[in-house]
Amino acid sequence: MSEPAPQQEGPVLEPEEVAALMENLDPNEETQAILASLPPMPQPEHVEIFTYESGGSEGPERYPLFGSVQERMAEAIKDSWKEIFQRQIDLDAGNATMTHYEEIIESDKPNAYLVFDHPGFGLMLVVISINLTVAYVDALLGGSGEAYGESAEVLSPVEQRLCKRLAREIEHIMTAAWKPVYPMDFILKKIETDPQFLGVAANRDLCFSTSYHIKLNDNLEGDIAFHFPRTFLDPILEMLRSNDQDKPDSVDDEWSLQLRQGLQGTPLTLRLEMGSLQMNIAQFLALKSGDQLPLSKRATDMVELWVESEPVFRAIAGQKDGWLAAEIKEPYHHGGEL
């Protein structure tokens, strides 16, 4: 009967032998060998697709003042087009959305593209259906405001020139709508019918977009859309985020009254500046009693009335009941009210 084989004590290979074998392995092979030695990881049954540039919580819905501007533009467009076409205009305003610029310029519908520039902000885009553009031009020329239905795909040279009238009206509407929020100075840069030549933004840039569907009659309808690249709005995004919800839920009226009353008792120094002149040190040292100093002001000229270190009102110097007085005429610039 044979004897059992002796049990192996310790590792099969000594550490020096393992190190010698590992030296001959490629780093990738070593990594694969380590991963292969790990137990399999459990995988989830359902995996949803995740995209990084989905707009999410940073879309237009996070900026209530932007929505307010779009509402004002909708009302202004409806009133303006009603006046141009001399009839009731149906307008449906869509929600403000986040759109990639490449999606805007890949439209398969014929459009007129109006590019506006704003110094310090950059370029933004207004897209109008060609048939609406043609109808608008027809109304400007005294027509009934009609287009050639689905065959309107390009602008004639005359329509291209008259389209500038439409662009100026849109410029006026945008400027007026933005004024309560932030003063905007839009400048028409160009009008195109081929979106490949616009150059407003990079293809993957995100835009805050709002579209309005306009129906002129049963046979004529189209869209006008405003696209503001997010980079265009960057300088004022935080301001557009504010709304009435940012205000405190409650106000201590008693504390406010006491503060106002306390401030009203604060003393102020008012100074009427009659004029000024320059002289050198020698002239100043030579002054004596009886000398007259010309102040380059006539008695009827308005002068500044200062409060502390700020000019607040324009006034005319005079006298009342034997006392020197100042008759306030108008605020200086950003000063108080009369």
- Separation of alpha carbons 32 and 29, rounded Å: 5
**What percentage of the chain carries pLDDT values higher than 90?**
19
Query: Mean pLDDT for the chain?
Result: 80
313, 273 in Cβ contact below 8 A? no
Mean pLDDT of 259-273: 80
- Could you state, in order of their start, the residue ranges of all structural domains in the chain? 56-245, 266-287+296-338
- pLDDT score, position 35: 65
CB 226 within 8 A of CB 126: yes
Mean pLDDT, to the nearest integer, of 43-52? Answer: 65
How many Å separate Cα 70 from the centre of its chain?
12
Handedness of CA 47, 48, 52, 56 (dihedral sign): negative
- Quickly state the pLDDT bin for 252 (edges 50, 70, 90): low
3-state class (DSSP) for residue 211: strand
What CATH code would you report for 266-287+296-338? 2.30.330.10
205 in Cβ contact with 103 (< 8 Å): no
Q: Which residue has the higher pLDDT, 5 or 53?
A: 5
Q: 282 pLDDT band (50/70/90 cuts)? A: confident
Smallest CA-to-CA distance from 316 within 333, 294, 298 is with: 298
Whether the CB-CB separation of 208 and 230 falls below 8 Å is answered with yes
Q: CA-based angle 215:220:221, to the nearest 5?
A: 40
Condensed to tens digits (0 to 9), the pLDDT of residues 212-246 reads 999 888 888 899 999 999 999 998 888 888 754 44
Q: What is the mean pLDDT of residues 317-323?
A: 82
- Local confidence band at 264 (pLDDT 50, 70, 90 cut-offs): confident
pLDDT digits (tens, 9 = 90+) for 128-163: 998 888 888 888 888 777 765 445 567 778 788 888
Amino acid at 126: V
pLDDT of res. 150: 46
Range 47-52 average pLDDT: 60
Q: Is the pLDDT of residue 52 over 50?
A: no
Give the model's pLDDT for residue 330. Answer: 83
pLDDT at 22 (0 to 100):
65
Tell me: pLDDT of 44 over 80: no
Q: Which of 116, 136, 137, 118 is nearest to 126 (CA)?
A: 116
Residue 172's closest CA among 97, 81, 91? 81
Contact partners, residue 104, CB within 8 Å, separation at least 6: 125, 127, 195, 207, 209, 225, 227
Rounded-to-integer distance, Cα 77 and Cα 170, Å: 8
What is the pLDDT, as a whole number, of residue 88?
Answer: 84
pLDDT at residue number 2:
54
CATH class of the domain whose range is 56-245: alpha beta
Q: How far is CA 60 from CA 98, 217, 290, in A?
A: 7, 31, 72
Residue 204 has pLDDT above 80, yes or no: yes
- Give pLDDT, residue 28: 63
Most confident of 71-80, 245-254, 262-271: 71-80
Bigger pLDDT: 306 vs 21: 306
> How sure is the predictor about 178, in pLDDT bands with cuts at 50, 70 and 90?
very high
- CA-CA-CA-CA torsion sign (244, 250, 254, 255): negative
